[in-house]
Amino acid sequence: MSSYLDTGGRGGIAGWIFSTDHKRIGILYLATMTGLFFVAVVIGVLMRVEQLVLDPPLFAPQVYNAFFTVHGVIMIFMFVLPGLGAVFGNFFLPIMIGARDVSFPRLNLMSWYAFVAGTVIVFVSLFTGDGAPDTGWTFYVPFSVRTGTNVTLGLTGVFMLGFSSILTGLNFITTIHRLRAPGMTWHRMPLFAWSLYGTAWVQLLATPIVGITLLLVIAERVFGIGVFDPAKGGDPILYQHLFWTYSHPAVYIMILPAMGAITEILPTFAHRTVFGYKAIAYSSMAIAFLGSLVWGHHMFTSGMSEQANLLFSLFTFLVAVPSAIKVFNWTSTLYKGSIEVRPPMLYALTFVFLFAIGGLTGLMQGALAVNVHLHDTYFIVGHFHYVMFGGTGVAFFAALLYWFPKMFGRTYNERVANLAWAPIFVGFNLLYFGMLVLGYMGMPRRYFTHLPQYHTGHVIASVGSFILAAGLVLFFANLVVALLRGKRAESNPWGGVTLEWRIGSPPPAENFDVIPEIQGRPYRFNPEVSE
């Protein structure tokens, strides 16, 4: 049986962009998203350069505003939000549950087109009209209504990206409900699939809220409907409520599949079944549920009522519980395992470390009194980069290293992958721990310049960003070389036990000759020892 890489009917690029094969669509996402990631990395590094060259500033303040807006929009809406779900979810969800494709393959391709269309519109908005959007990725009113920059077009693009996310979620939920192989009960599903299931519900139910909110900002700009305009009796705080009603759950859209991928990698390299299967599965659902009730913690300083503040603070602490359950389960999975630290495992363990810092700094901000001090400082920037980049980003790298041989049928140079880890880890912590400290000292976010007392911290963070960027280049260069010249991969190079490791590398076009019959629970590394 020929692999999905060399079948498809049409040759060349058409065979890819018109293919409804979930694996090819996963690769399409991987290619587009990686490209966009590097665009945003470059912008991020430019922002760090700006903080080194203060007088006169290297880039005008308005340019800096556009930088952090575009960096945020690309990283959030085009990289971490589709994230592991769009790439590895598309590629592996059907395989892991023993299906030949997702439920709606054409809809799946359409969501990639929506993604590309949204991306193109956002990029067009940067170079047309009266300047690139300068609102930050949060598009807060009233500024987003009053600024003369090209916000309307940018919002239209983001709306399209949301549409793409909704369609993917819809597809995954239906696929998991309808297409599990015979014998694949809910409790026999791999945990990556469980995490995608929780994620998909959030994508489906929360994204429409931000959709309508952004449409209302557009309507406000174009027609002046007044719902967010204080001059007409509107309330900007309601914008914040609606925006975060989506955008906080969106954080869990970003992190849940990352946690799912880590849950696949750790047992494989500990050669031991995952500890607390059900606890991990249900904590995904609990995170999806509780994560939808915490949005107000972005608004503690906005003048909400004290009762609302207290409740949102309480829920924020509660959502840490299922997240911590996962961390404990991962640690317990390692206990008495025979741990083999190969590149995917190295990055997965790094995820656990960085995510723990991200999570704990999040709790600091969930405390009401501390939040007032930390609000809108570099501390929050450091925190969410620990979660989004140290969490989702590093998990993305781990998943890429884990599944690369399966996806492309090639092996990469493991030593270089390990080598790239060092600058990524060191640079990352210099940059973002530096930001945590700067923020605690009082450095506000989104300023193109800073006071002299923050200069040392900024220099450290900027140097960290250069080291980090060098590591990222080495990491991806290694994979590109592997893609072109790597040795042929075996079908199961790591000794994994989920279904994707039982088919060829790269997988055949139809995934399975015969749909497998599932006999027992996943992660049985010693089937003869019984469950």
Partner 1 sequence: MTTAAGAHGGHVDHEGARFGMWLFLFTEILLFGGLFILYAAYRARYPNEFHEAGGHLDAVIGVANTVILLTSSLTMAASITALRTGQRRRALASLAGTIALGVLFLVNKYFEWSGEIARGFYPDSPLLAGRPQGEQIFFGLYYSMTGLHGLHVMAGIVLLAVMLALVLRHRITGGEYHKLENAGLYWHLVDVIWVFLLPLFYLAA
Residues 470-509 vs partner 1: string with x where CB under 8 A? Answer: ----------------------------------------
Q: How far is the CB of 221 from partner 1 (least distance, A)?
A: 11
Q: What is the 3-state secondary structure (H, E, C) of 411-452?
A: CCCHHHHHHHHHHHHHHHHHHHHHHHHHHHHCCECCCCCCCH
Nearest CA to 22 out of 112, 145, 143, 141 is that of 112
Prior bond of 142 cis (ω within 30°)? yes
Is 174 one of the binding residues for partner 1 (CB under 8 A)? yes
Q: How far is CA 37 from the centre of its chain?
A: 11
Is 103 one of the binding residues for partner 1 (CB under 8 A)? yes
Residues 428, 397 contacting (CB under 8 angstroms): no
Q: How far is CA 475 from CA 81, 265, 385, 413, 480, in A?
A: 21, 19, 19, 10, 9
Nearer to partner 1 among residue 234 and residue 423 (C-beta) = 234
Is 25 one of the binding residues for partner 1 (CB under 8 A)? no
Per CB under 8 A, the segment of 121-129, 213-221, 352-360, 457-465 that binds partner 1 is 213-221
Nearer to partner 1 among residue 205 and residue 470 (C-beta) = 205
Binding positions for partner 1, 229-288, rule CB under 8 A:
232-235, 238, 242, 245
Q: How far is the CB of 302 from partner 1 (least distance, A)?
A: 15
Is 110 one of the binding residues for partner 1 (CB under 8 A)? no
Per CB under 8 A, the segment of 95-103, 140-148, 265-273, 421-429 that binds partner 1 is 95-103
Nearer to partner 1 among residue 57 and residue 236 (C-beta) = 236
Q: Kindly tell me the burial class for residue 222, based on how many C-beta atoms sit within 10 Å of its own C-beta (0-12, 13-18, 19 or more).
A: exposed
Per CB under 8 A, the segment of 84-92, 208-216, 289-297, 477-485 that binds partner 1 is 208-216
CA dist 392 and 117 (Å) reads 24
Residues binding partner 1: number (CB under 8 A): 45
Return the residue of 52, 219, 311, 419 that touches partner 1, per CB under 8 A. Answer: 219
CA dist 408 and 415 (Å) reads 19
CA dist 65 and 100 (Å) reads 46
Q: How far is the CB of 186 from partner 1 (least distance, A)?
A: 16
In degrees, rounded to 5, the angle at the alpha carbon of residue 170 between the alpha carbons of residues 194 and 90 is: 60
Residues that bind partner 1 (CB under 8 A): 20, 98-101, 103-107, 166, 170-171, 173-174, 177-181, 204-209, 211-213, 215-216, 219, 223-227, 232-235, 238, 242, 245, 515
